[in-house]
Amino acid sequence: MNLTSPESLIFWTSLIFIVFFLLMRKLAWKPILGAVKSREDSINNALLSAENAKKDMQNLKADNEKLLAEARAERDIMIKEAREIKEKMISDAKSEAQMQGEKMIEQAKASIASEKNAAIADLKNQVGALSIEIAEKVLKGELANKEAQTKLVETMLGDAKLN
């Protein structure tokens, strides 16, 4: 192996390496390592915040579901109440109507009865008057026929034996 004068390569290697090292440290490695580090940090932060956002989303979703369930339960209660109110109203109306009907029937019955009584009384009066009139006319008729009357009185007197 042809090893040239050792001082040549040792000198140049030391010089070039040290200058190269200093240059690279300042102009390459520091910016590169810094950029890589800051990007790693930003990626980690982004991942962390994404994770947090996911957690928040999950919480929100859970909240929403809870709210929804509550709303649903409330709706069910309201429907139930409404149904009850409806039924109550219907039954109330029914009983009211019944009562009203009965009252009306009662009143009708009472008025019918009083009408009937009045009619009967009226009929009685009319029948009385009519019978009086008839009797009057019969009597007038009977009395108008003098011969017959006298005959009758004679017959009756004839029959009337002075016993």
Partner 1 sequence: MKIFGKVLNIVLLATLLLVSTKSIAGQGIEEAEKEFNATDLINSHIGDSHDFHIADWNGHPISVSLPVILWSENGLTIFGSSEFHHDDNGIHVVEKNGEKFVKYKEVVYYADKFENLSEDDKSAFNFSARPLNFSITKNVFSMLLSVIVLFLLFYSLARSYKKNNMAPKGLAGFLEPLVIFVRDDIAIPNIGEKKYAKFMPYLLTIFFFIWINNMFGLIPFFPFSSNLTGNIYFTFVLSFITFLITSFNANKDYWGHIFAPPVPKALYPIMIPVEIIGMFTKPFALMIRLFANITAGHIIILSLISLIYIFKTTWISPVSGAFVLFMSVLELLVAALQAYVFTLLSALFIGQAVAEHDHH
Binding residues vs partner 1 (CB under 8 A):
1-14, 16-17, 20-21, 23-25, 27-33, 35-36, 39, 42
Which helix (H) or strand (E) element contains residue 59?
helix 30-144
Shortest distance, CB of residue 15 to partner 1, whole angstroms?
Answer: 10
Judged by beta carbon, residue 4 or residue 163, the one nearer partner 1 is 4
Token pair recorded at residue 106: 């009662």
- CA angle 151/156/157 to nearest 5° reads 95
Shortest distance, CB of residue 14 to partner 1, whole angstroms?
Answer: 5
CA distances from 34 to 103, 139, 157, 160 (A): 100, 152, 169, 169
Token pair recorded at residue 79: 């429907």
Judged by beta carbon, residue 9 or residue 77, the one nearer partner 1 is 9
d(CA 65, CA 58): 10
Token pair recorded at residue 62: 């859970």
Token pair recorded at residue 89: 């109203």
Shortest distance, CB of residue 44 to partner 1, whole angstroms?
Answer: 14
Shortest distance, CB of residue 5 to partner 1, whole angstroms?
Answer: 4
Judged by beta carbon, residue 6 or residue 158, the one nearer partner 1 is 6
Shortest distance, CB of residue 47 to partner 1, whole angstroms?
Answer: 14
- 28 secondary structure, DSSP code: I
